[in-house]
């Protein structure tokens, strides 16, 4: 029967946006139901952040095992059993999705499997997994956390050979030849993973350079390293068509105005993602979208319909898991009447490449554009003892500060563990610290963290380890 079940807060999607919002809403005393049509944990846990990092790590270890000749280590008969790698990866995913389900249960959140559709501005109809039955939920507030999906491009219909990131993460063999269309962070991370695992990789990028979201010098470090591993780059390259053969694909692209063809076992199309906002019935309930299909929200993630919120990849901003989770907490708090508001300045962006790239707050150029009298101070990994003993001297840290008082307003890091190091700069921004605060914080020796302290010393004009 279809008696509407009443809930306080209904959340559509259980990715890093939805499940975090659910837990926070439950902590604040709301009766919460989460609807999920796929696997618990969304893209991030199942086919995104976590499994991609697992493959990247397997690639590192395999590649490093074959030769760290600088240190005088040699190894023979290093081999790779890719099905074991995939098994290990799936084990991690299962552990995490199980963990999330346990957390939801522990917080008394009701998890419903099925596809949600708005039948009214305070009602959602959920069709059960088998497609037959349905159940209506009447909510006081709703949070849309339906995420995004890969974009398909003309003439590259997804198939066994023409794959998106999900396909690339779930391959059951290491391709001999892999063509990657798109030099954004997803394309570059997966290109690096498979290059380390033994694939001959070609990256086709439409712009003049890869990783457009990062400063040129940082992107160049990554590109140089990938080239050393045999990755070929074609910039200003537009993929035109793909012809599937019995055991592969032939890709035709226009590269700087000339037609070129590339043979591959698989083609990975990683040209961006589109929001899952088109199959929810939003047009009938007056929830407004922008021209890209992203749901419009205010500073509390509230849509144009006052009891409906939206978070994560389905709204504007960097499509990242921690951004989705951050917004999830804000939305849950807003529903509870708290004054929480979004402030995007402290959201870090990371690329898990070699070296890792990370950025938080303003770049030097962005700070100037925003009207700051900004200074950028730089310190190289080469001048850090820990980096030397790790044999990871590639990279630098750049600290962006306000000239008048040294207030930290941004940082960019290229180098080993940049993904972890960026957290300290994020804290400095969040807490309103100055370069002096960072410089006065005692960092253990020898650590990469000292690079942050030393860069702050550069900002003050008193670095110890560079002249």
The residues that touch ligand FAD, with contacts defined as CB under 6 A, are 12-18, 35-38, 42-44, 48-49, 52, 115-116, 145-148, 165, 186, 276, 280, 312-314, 319-322, 324, 352
Nearer to ligand FAD, 121 or 441 (CB): 121
Nearest alpha carbon to residue 346 among 370, 328, 322: 322
d(CA 237, CA 208): 9
CA 444 from centroid of its chain's CA atoms: 30
* Closest separation in Å from C-beta 117 to ligand FAD: 6
Element (H, E) at 398: strand 396-402
The backbone torsions φ and ψ at residue 7, rounded to the nearest 5 degrees and listed phi first, read: -135, 155
Nearer to ligand FAD, 35 or 439 (CB): 35
Nearer to ligand FAD, 165 or 455 (CB): 165
Nearest alpha carbon to residue 183 among 207, 215, 166: 207
* Closest separation in Å from C-beta 402 to ligand FAD: 28
For residue 148 the two structure tokens come to: 């995004």
* Closest separation in Å from C-beta 209 to ligand FAD: 21
Nearer to ligand FAD, 13 or 463 (CB): 13
Element (H, E) at 204: strand 200-205
d(CA 353, CA 89): 19
DSSP 3: P
* Closest separation in Å from C-beta 182 to ligand FAD: 11
Catalytic pick from 60, 63, 322, 445? Answer: 445
Nearer to ligand FAD, 312 or 410 (CB): 312
The backbone torsions φ and ψ at residue 95, rounded to the nearest 5 degrees and listed phi first, read: -60, -45
For residue 24 the two structure tokens come to: 């926070």
* Closest separation in Å from C-beta 18 to ligand FAD: 5
Nearer to ligand FAD, 111 or 397 (CB): 111
**Catalytic site residue 445?**
yes
d(CA 428, CA 422): 10
For tokens 């990789």, the residue is 201
The backbone torsions φ and ψ at residue 130, rounded to the nearest 5 degrees and listed phi first, read: -75, -5
* Closest separation in Å from C-beta 142 to ligand FAD: 12
Nearest alpha carbon to residue 349 among 212, 152, 190: 212
d(CA 188, CA 224): 12
Catalytic residues: 445
């Amino acid at each position: 029967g279809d008696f509407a079940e009443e809930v306080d807060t209904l959340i559509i999607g259980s990715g890093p946006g939805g499940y975090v919002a659910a837990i926070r809403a439950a902590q604040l005393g709301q009766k919460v139901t989460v609807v999920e049509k796929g696997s618990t944990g969304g893209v991030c846990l199942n086919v995104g952040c976590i499994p991609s990092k697992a493959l990247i790590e397997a690639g590192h270890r395999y590649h490093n095992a074959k030769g760290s000749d600088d240190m005088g280590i040699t190894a023979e008969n290093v081999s790779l059993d890719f099905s074991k790698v995939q098994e290990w990866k799936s084990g991690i995913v299962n552990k995490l999705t199980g963990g999330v389900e346990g957390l939801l249960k522990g917080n008394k959140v009701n998890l419903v499997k099925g596809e949600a559709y708005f039948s009214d501005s305070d009602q959602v109809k959920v069709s059960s997994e088998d497609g037959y039955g349905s159940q209506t939920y009447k909510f006081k507030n709703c949070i849309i956390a339906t995420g995004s999906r890969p974009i398909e491009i003309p003439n590259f219909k997804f198939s066994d050979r023409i794959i998106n990131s999900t396909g690339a993460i779930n391959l059951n063999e290491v391709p001999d030849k892999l063509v990657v269309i798109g030099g954004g962070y997803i394309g570059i991370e997966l290109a690096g993973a498979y290059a380390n695992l033994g694939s001959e990789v070609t990256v086709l990028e439409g712009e003049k350079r890869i990783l457009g979201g990062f400063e040129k010098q940082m992107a160049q470090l990554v590109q140089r390293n990938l080239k050393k591993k045999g990755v070929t780059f074609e910039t200003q390259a537009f993929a035109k068509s793909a012809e599937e053969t019995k055991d592969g694909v032939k890709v035709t692209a226009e590269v700087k105005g000339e037609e070129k063809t590339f043979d591959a076992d698989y083609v990975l199309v990683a040209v961006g993602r589109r929001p899952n906002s088109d199959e929810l019935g939003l047009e009938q309930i007056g929830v407004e979208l922008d021209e890209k299909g992203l749901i419009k929200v205010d500073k509390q993630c509230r849509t144009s319909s006052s009891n409906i919120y939206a978070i994560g990849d389905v709204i504007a901003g960097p499509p990242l898991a921690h951004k989705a989770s951050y917004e999830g907490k804000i939305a849950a708090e807003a529903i509870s009447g708290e004054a929480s508001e979004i402030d995007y300045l402290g959201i870090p962006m990371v690329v898990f490449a070699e070296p890792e790239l990370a950025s938080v707050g303003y770049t030097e150029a962005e700070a100037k554009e925003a009207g700051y009298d900004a200074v950028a101070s730089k310190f190289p990994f080469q001048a850090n003892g820990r980096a030397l003993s790790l044999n990871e001297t590639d990279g630098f840290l750049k600290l962006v500060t306000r000239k008048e008082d040294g207030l930290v307003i941004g940082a960019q890091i290229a180098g080993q563990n940049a993904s972890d190091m960026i957290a300290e700069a994020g804290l400095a921004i969040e807490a309103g610290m100055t370069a002096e605060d960072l410089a006065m914080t005692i960092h253990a020796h020898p650590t990469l963290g000292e690079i942050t302290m030393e860069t702050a010393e550069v900002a003050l004009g008193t670095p110890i380890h560079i002249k």
